[in-house]
Amino acid sequence: MEVRRLFKKVRPGKIPAVFYLLAIFLLYCGLDLSASRTDILSPVGKPAPPAAESAVAEPAAQGEKSEDPYDIWIDLTQSTLYLFENNRLIKKYPVAQGKSGTPSPVGTWYITSKARHWGTGFGTRWMGLNVPWGIYGIHGTNKPGSVGYRASHGCFRMRNRDVEELYGIVPFQTRVVVYGGPYGNMGSSFVRLEPGDRMSQVVEVQLRLQKLGYYKGSIDGIYGEGLKAALLKFKKDRNMPLSHYVDTETYQALGILAFE
């Protein structure tokens, strides 16, 4: 009834203005609804992904090693370096390794430095390894005839053209696995060890004493106070002569035998 009275009071000439006001009101409501729908749609009209599925990548945690497709394996038995990409062999190179008195470090290491023309006698490229008991690396040489033999002080020599190629492929933190040889970590002979020694042979003794529950320290190839105490306790428990030396009798008691 109220609507009918309203239209009765409006003169015929004023009716169009009422319709204009009503049309503007409906148009405004329609635009507001459209805007609210646009807020939850992507530009192509599909639902926007939740915030958790954003394409923006979060930064890696500090100290994390990024994924690297390359691995280096050095076989001391064959004096050969193998380069793998995503577990597929892509290159192999001959290398010179350590002599009997200065064996190359057996173990798993990482490339922690790279340099061009690092020093006299190291060829055109240097890739340093994180061996804790000394300075070891993969490098070139000014004596290419030594490649393929036990001729270095523990480093891995490559022909300059080969090391330049490898240097250009592998990044920092590439894993380097060194294995093989007739005595594993023992190099080519049983060296008598004493406190202060830093070498692969110490690693093997640390590993054996750790497996037997005596050594609790780091496997770092350094004969320090922790290894000294562990060795003394091991000898005492077996009624062996007490000394800080790792000699032939100690090697045998630890189960470290030639060609094991």
- Could you give the residue ranges of the DSSP H alpha helices within the chain? 2-9, 15-38, 160-169, 200-211, 225-237, 248-253
Task: Answer yes or no: 117 catalytic.
Answer: no
List the catalytic residue out of 29, 139, 153, 244: 139
Q: Are 160 and 141 in contact (CB under 8 A)?
A: yes
Task: Answer yes or no: 139 catalytic.
Answer: yes
Separation CA 175–CA 216 (nearest Å): 25
- Pairing type for strands 107-116 and 175-179 reads antiparallel
Separation CA 123–CA 161 (nearest Å): 10
Query: Residue 24 has which token pair?
Result: 């503007």
Q: Please give the positions annotated as active site.
A: 139, 155
